[in-house]
Amino acid sequence: MTRVSLILLALAVVFGCKKSTAPEEGGGGGGGGGGGSTASPESTAVYFGITPDSSFVYWDSTTSSSSGTALDTVQTIFYTYITSGGELLVPHVDTFFTSGRTLKDTFHIKGDTVYQYITMVLDTTNPSPDTIRLRYIFGIKPLDIGKSWIPLSPQTQRLNDTIKYPLMATCTLGVRLDSFKVDSSYAYIMDSLSVSVPAGTFRAYKIRGKTHARVFYGLFTIPTGCLPISGDTFATLDTYDTTYIKPYYGVVLTQAKDSTVFNIPPMGSQIETTRRYRALTGKRR
């Protein structure tokens, strides 16, 4: 493995986050928009196809510029509604058939707004790893062409962790994490159109979204100067996504691109790109 690849591997830890595998409740930073009180949360859940005991099966593809393509089939099952603190909670589980992974999560519904708490844990060896917790608005009822909202409100979360990665027997790279900042985020309903997926052709709303964020960190080496890498810098994280939702049915297609630009002085920028695609193959209920 080249030296550049090793450095990227170490820095990828900064964005090598994973959603919590346990349902989350409360806390975290707030997203903008939504939060209306005129609609009942039960009717909003039905509008977005989030109904108890319903099951969606998707063909899932993830292509990374550093690790290639992973193909899988994922089944999403929604469970019984739970009322808590004036909100409707809808637990759901994603089961990946090929890899065997299982991810648990929860939709929160308040009035006309559906959102999730996204919890990301930095993959470090620190016994108390940093946790980034974000409130993400999935959708607001009703969907109409031209409607928009802010999925993630601008915010900064402080980090306090250090990643050490041996590059060679005589030199270790250190990455000192400082903060995670959401600069901007938007979702916009562009159109209502017919979209074809393995499960059939559906009339769905096309929702385009983008999030721009940054992770700030400092670089150092042990011993000092064993490589010409040091100083405070940041990684830029841009996510572009398109979701197709059929009201009173659910999500039929999602397409997304994640672009991470690592700034590594004095080596310049290194880019990691991930493309995600998930198309409905079948639904029960």
Residues of the chain with pLDDT > 70, as a percent, come to 83
| pLDDT value for 130 | 67
**Around Cβ 232, how many Cβ atoms within 10 Å?**
11
User: What is the rounded distance in angstroms from the CA atom of residue 22 to the CA atom of residue 227?
Assistant: 40
Least confident of 39-48, 55-64, 185-194, 220-229: 220-229
pLDDT at 264: 79
Residue 18 CA to residue 65 CA, distance in Å, equals 18
Q: What number is the average pLDDT over the span 82-104?
A: 94
Distance of alpha carbon 106 from alpha carbon 94, whole angstroms: 11
Report the DSSP pairing between strands 200-222 and 113-122.
Answer: unpaired
Please give the average per-residue pLDDT across 97-107, as a whole number. Answer: 94
Give 116's pLDDT tier (boundaries 50, 70, 90). very high
Backbone angles phi, psi at 47, to 5 degrees: -60, -40
pLDDT-derived band at 32, boundaries 50, 70, 90: very low
More confident residue, 105 or 163: 105
Residue 124: band (very low, low, confident or very high) from pLDDT cuts 50, 70, 90: low
